[in-house]
Amino acid sequence: MECSFNNYTSDLNLKNVIYGLIDPNTNEIRYIGKAVDLKNRFRNHFNPSRLVSKTHKNNWLNFLIKDSKKPFVIVLETNLNENLLNEFEI
């Protein structure tokens, strides 16, 4: 995933992170999550079976997909243990 802004990451190979998904239309953080493996977690956001449920996040991602877009990823915290991942995500 190519990113043109310094705060966004193009390195999805990070582990144990808190990340945000940025709306490519507004540059706003629309979702914050945790990932043991950021690359797999980002890919899972677009798994068709996961996008079926009508959540706010899924509705937004489906809208972007229909527009041939994907969110940018911003890494907020890195190298966290499992307890800190859970705490920081909240």
pLDDT attached to residue 58: 96
The answer to the question of residue 21 being in a domain is yes
Average pLDDT over residues 18-43: 93
* Type of residue found at 79: N
Pick the more confident residue, 33 or 5.
Answer: 33
Number of domains the chain contains:
1
Please give the pLDDT value at position 82. Answer: 81
Split at pLDDT 50, 70, 90, the class of 9 is low
- Whose tokens are 């996961």? That residue is 50
Flag whether pLDDT at 72 surpasses 50.
Answer: yes
The boundaries of the domain holding residue 38 are 15-79
The tokens describing 84, both together, are: 């800190």
pLDDT of residue 51: 94
In a domain, 52, yes or no: yes
User: How far apart (Å, rounded) are the C-alpha atoms in residues 84 and 77?
Assistant: 10
Is residue 90, in this structure, part of any structural domain at all? no
Per the domain annotation, does 40 fall within a domain? yes
Q: Say whether pLDDT at 79 is over 90.
A: no
